[in-house]
Amino acid sequence: MTGAAEATSVDPVTPVEGPAGTAGLSDSGGGSSRFPGRPVQEIVFPTREQYLPLVQGYRDDGFEMCIDLCGVDYLTHFNRHLPDGVQPERFEVVVNLLSLSTARRVRLRVQLPESDLEAASIFDVYPGVEAMEREAFDMFGIIFVGHPDLTRILMPEDWEGHPLRKDYGVGRVPVQFKGAPGPR
Amino acid sequence: MTDPTSNTPEDGVGGTDAPALPATERGDGAPNDTTIRASAHEAESSGHPDTPQPPPVSRDEYPKVGPGGEAIGLSTETSEGHQELTRRSATDPGELRREVGAVLRLPEGVVIDPANIDVEQSDDNTMIINMGPQHPSTHGVLRLMFELDGETVLRTKPVIGYLHTGMEKTAEELTYVQGSTNVTRMDYLSPLHNELVLSLAVEALLGIELPARADWIRMLMTELNRVSSHLMWMATNGMDLGSTSMMIYGFREREMVLAFFEKTTGLRMNHNFIRPGGTAADLPDGWEDDVTIICDTVLPRTDEYDELLTGQPLFRQRTESIGRLSAEEALALSLTGPILRSTGVPWDLRRSMPYLHYDQVDFDVIVGTYGDNFDRYSVRLNEIRESIRIIRQIVEKMPAGDYRVQDKKVTPPPRARIDESMEALIHHFKVFTEGFKVPEGEVYVAIESPRGELGCYLVSDGSSKPYRMHIRGPSFVNLQALPVMMRGGLLADAVSVCSSVDPVMGEVDR
């Protein structure tokens, strides 16, 4: 694996460079004068099969750090803007990679259907995603195949359900003002 | 603990601390090495007797339909096993290697050969003990589980989540106007940084430009917050290492900064001062004098801390070459902030990817050499001095102008207008009840908080509430360094190492 370029050519993905023509996908902050030195962020949409080789390619290309990994549930916002050729699915894994040498960021958005919530773990490439993948599993139920210890991290281990899913209701505790006088 | 028949769970857990462990730890009796996960699973999903047991390690063949063809519900899917540190005989080798830090794919010389990990080591000579979640030196409700051989730490596992309040879920229920009251409670030692990163993300989606003064006020406040946060760290770190005078001094100086915050924002913590569209108010009259007094007081006192701690033999013995970390390890573990810089990597977002107006101020990025506790102490001490240097420049360069953007869409009208104009009253009412709509899109914005890269990934569906707001908390990620830093060290140094990571549990658990 020589780099992201090769990974991209072997497995064609849809790189989206900047805001041009992709309204809604753009990083509007990139062009702002308050971020003068910041290049426009790149967003890439690999499929599930391309995901791990592409991450490995970026790692070889000098993206030293996986800065963030999180899940998104697009249940109630399914028809979001996506570039042509990307099949929208309910879940997304969003990975932010950072290159310290070139001060560049790249964001990977992997589509995952509700029926088959499995993605490759990138733990072998970036060991720092250990806690982040556990959090994404905990909050969304995304199974990261190859993670050494995929257990809940924030919720108790016997918790049922994945709280950040959109169909997971927000509980409410009725407030009782015990000291207050009743209605007259 | 040294019972040769360690197949019974009570023995391996260790008699001394057995009451501290929850029932699941004691009750997941492992008949043999291979079925620990399956049996733990069975214990947790006992309400579903018909559910087939998943294979112990591999998740490739994870069953998604039950024997009758029915989809297996969430309770099965989520019962993935316990979070605690288990005995070696009950841990699968892949996980064991991770816990001893052997899975890092690092350049030659630093990596531990996985073949050298003694997977077969007997549990007879080791003991698993708990520290926390109520231990005072864990800075909150962090629970650490150690595997000890005598006084030596073999494995460490942080168990977190005790302070989880679902703030990312809450954020989806709050409008963008209300959002900063939520995020400010995450990292309660640097609340202004949390507010800043959310505001920058919202403004990036809105595509609005702020007046220069608003940006400079934000810089002033966040730099002061960095000073107060590092002072707090100096105080608690001193206390963890037995220097109670440092604790008193650190809190004393921090109080000055908090008093200025109270004067400016109305609150000592959880300010809700930096909001999308600017700040809540202008700086109070005479702020230059207040800030100058803070600078003139704190700067010479950092020299006193230097005298008190830096040369002190006891302090040096407890910090030097304790908890060492290499740059490769720090990068692989996604560590940021003073921990990364202490290993010699000059990465500071204020310098490398400047936001606000950090490209117009002059400051140095402090780096260490060895990546040990002492370097992390020195980096933070000197960052206080650099922040004061920045603050002095901000006081000089503060431009005149408005402290918030005059965009009717996001800015409520001035208070005085409400009394005389019906439209202003309606406008005010709408901003604070419905909020403002943010164009559809997603953005990731990162700033340098006192603990490292604080990121906000914000997804908007075009309504007035975030569709998804994810905060990349630096403490959450930095905690992963603990197993690597404590490996092979002494139990007494665990407190020192934990303190040098500077975790804020409000941000870890969110």
Domains of chain A, start order: 4-20+38-145 (3.30.460.80)
Task: Fill in the amino acid letter for A167.
Answer: D
Mean pLDDT, rounded, for B28-37: 37
Hey, are the CB atoms on B334 and A38 less than 8 Å from each other? Answer: no
Render the burial of B337-366: b for 16+ CB within 10 Å, e for the rest. bbbbbbbebebbbbbebbbbbbeebebebb
Whole-model pTM: value is 0.77
Mean model confidence pLDDT for chain B: 78
d(CA B153, CA B156): 7
- Is residue B432's pLDDT more than 80? yes
Mean pLDDT, rounded, for A150-177: 80
**Test mutation, B96, B365, B470, chain A, max A CBs within 10 A:** B470
B27 has a chain A CB within 8 A of its CB: no
Tell me the angle at which helices B212-240 and B191-206 cross, rounded to the nearest 10 degrees. Answer: 150
Hey, are the CB atoms on A145 and B60 less than 8 Å from each other? Answer: yes
Tell me the pLDDT tens digit for each residue of B89-131. 666 666 666 665 544 444 333 344 444 555 555 566 778 888 8
Task: Fill in the amino acid letter for A6.
Answer: E
Hey, are the CB atoms on A157 and B24 less than 8 Å from each other? Answer: yes
Question: Which pLDDT does position A29 carry in this prediction?
Answer: 37
CB pairs under 8 A between A and B: 185
For chain A, where are the alpha helices, taking DSSP H only?
4-10, 48-60, 130-140
Mean pLDDT, rounded, for B203-213: 87
- Which of B105, B444, B468 lies at the smallest CB-CB distance from A107? B444
| ipTM associated with this complex | 0.77
Distance from CA of B337 to the nearest CA of A (A): 12
For residue B439, which residues of chain A lie inside 8 Å, CB to CB? 24
- Which of A29, A33, A153 lies at the smallest CB-CB distance from B161? A153
B290 has a chain A CB within 8 A of its CB: no
Which chain A residue shows the shortest CA-CA distance from B102?
A127
Highest mean pLDDT among A19-33, A122-136, A160-174, B53-67: A122-136
CATH architecture label of B167-472: Orthogonal Bundle (1.10)
d(CA A94, CA A136): 10
Mean pLDDT, rounded, for B27-48: 38
Tell me the pLDDT tens digit for each residue of A5-64. 333 333 334 444 433 333 333 343 333 334 433 346 788 888 888 889 999 888 888 888
Which chain B residue shows the shortest CA-CA distance from A121?
B59
Lowest mean pLDDT among A166-180, B9-23, B335-349: B9-23
Tell me the pLDDT tens digit for each residue of B326-383. 888 888 888 999 999 999 899 999 888 888 889 899 999 999 888 889 999 999 999 9
- Is residue B165's pLDDT more than 90? no
Hey, are the CB atoms on A67 and B472 less than 8 Å from each other? Answer: yes
Hey, are the CB atoms on A151 and B81 less than 8 Å from each other? Answer: yes
Which chain A residue shows the shortest CA-CA distance from B71?
A115
For residue B357, which residues of chain A lie inside 8 Å, CB to CB? 34
Q: Could you tell me the maximum CA-CA distance found in chain A, to the nearest angstrom?
A: 78
- Give the distance from CA B186 to its chain's centroid: 9
Backbone angles phi, psi at A44, to 5 degrees: -125, 145
Lowest mean pLDDT among A9-13, B46-50, B293-297: A9-13
- Please identify which residue in the block is written with the tokens 């092979």: B488
For residue B334, which residues of chain A lie inside 8 Å, CB to CB? 65-67, 126, 128-129, 132
The H or E element spanning position B423 is helix B422-433
Which chain B residue shows the shortest CA-CA distance from A106?
B444
Distance from CA of A178 to the nearest CA of B (A): 25
Tell me the pLDDT tens digit for each residue of B398-430. 998 888 888 878 888 888 888 888 888 888 888
Mean pLDDT, rounded, for B287-313: 90
Mean pLDDT, rounded, for B6-19: 40
Strand, coil or helix: what is B130?
Answer: strand
B509 has a chain A CB within 8 A of its CB: yes
Residue A151 region by backbone torsions, left for phi larger than 0, else alpha for psi between -120 and 50, else beta: beta
Question: Which pLDDT does position B100 carry in this prediction?
Answer: 57
B488 has a chain A CB within 8 A of its CB: no
Question: Which pLDDT does position A182 carry in this prediction?
Answer: 63
In percent, the amount of chain B with pLDDT more than 90 equals: 26
B442 has a chain A CB within 8 A of its CB: yes
Q: Tokens in use for B324?
A: 């060492």
Residues sharing a CB contact under 8 Å with residue A1, sequence separation 6 or more, in sequence order: A7, A53, A56, A57, A60
B332 has a chain A CB within 8 A of its CB: yes
- Which of A24, A127, A158 lies at the smallest CB-CB distance from B103? A127
The H or E element spanning position B149 is strand B143-149
Mean pLDDT, rounded, for A138-150: 86
Q: Contact A172/B86 with Cβ under 8 angstroms?
A: no
Question: Which pLDDT does position B29 carry in this prediction?
Answer: 38
Q: How does strand B143-149 pair with strand B127-131?
A: antiparallel
Which chain A residue shows the shortest CA-CA distance from B509?
A154
The model's confidence at residue B260, banded by pLDDT at 50, 70 and 90, is very high
For residue B81, which residues of chain A lie inside 8 Å, CB to CB? 151, 157
For residue A130, the cross-strand partners are: none
The model's confidence at residue A72, banded by pLDDT at 50, 70 and 90, is very high
Strand, coil or helix: what is B454?
Answer: strand
- Which of B94, B334, B352 lies at the smallest CB-CB distance from A103? B352
Question: Which pLDDT does position B122 carry in this prediction?
Answer: 59
For residue B167, which residues of chain A lie inside 8 Å, CB to CB? none
The model's confidence at residue B244, banded by pLDDT at 50, 70 and 90, is confident
- Is residue B138's pLDDT more than 80? no
Question: Which pLDDT does position B410 carry in this prediction?
Answer: 83
The residues in B 77-136 lying below 8 A from A, measured between CB atoms, are 77-83, 94-95, 97-98, 103-105
- Which of B77, B160, B470 lies at the smallest CB-CB distance from A70? B470
Mean model confidence pLDDT for chain A: 75
Domain ranges for chain B, please list them. 167-472
The model's confidence at residue A156, banded by pLDDT at 50, 70 and 90, is confident
d(CA B194, CA B444): 14
